[in-house]
Amino acid sequence: MRALVQRVREAAVRVEGHIIGRCGPGLLVFVCAMRGDTGAEAGKLATKIARMRIFEDAQGKMNLSLRDTGGAALVVSQFTLAADTRSGNRPGFSSAAPPEDGKRLYLHFAEALRAQEVPVETGRFGADMQVSLTNDGPVTIWIEV
């Protein structure tokens, strides 16, 4: 699985003009299931993200995790993270999991993150979503498991 994680002050996702998910201070997590991924990868990714020390402590050092800060996560499915741009001008997405697997693993990831005691809200798999955020830092990290 792949994720693009952004430390945010706030983030929201809208579908048809309505906010369906939001978070305050915490992480915006764009997640993509790849062909061949299983629940094990989804769980490993959730644990890694919940424990990643990318929040500042009292001395201004990135020593705290999302769990340490009590922050929340907004999880948004994003199959375009599977883009293959090695040739041509049009990205290929054949390495992304098929939609039924992608949805199952996306939901599994969100539940695994909740199991790490992180408040989680989500977007809607397969929907045309508009995501807004206020990046904090900025801190943006690519993760692949």
Residue in this structure with the two tokens 């005691």, named with its chain if needed: 117
In the numeric block, the tokens 């999302």 are attached to 66
Closest by CA to 131, choosing from 141, 121, 119, is 121
Q: Return the structure tokens found at 46.
A: 């959730």
Supply angle C-alpha 9, 21, 34, rounded to 5: 95
Q: 55 φ, ψ to 5°?
A: -110, 145
Active site residue 80: yes
Catalytic choice (6, 30, 55, 78):
78
> Which one of the listed residues 30, 55, 79, 109 is annotated catalytic?
79
Catalytic residues: 78-80
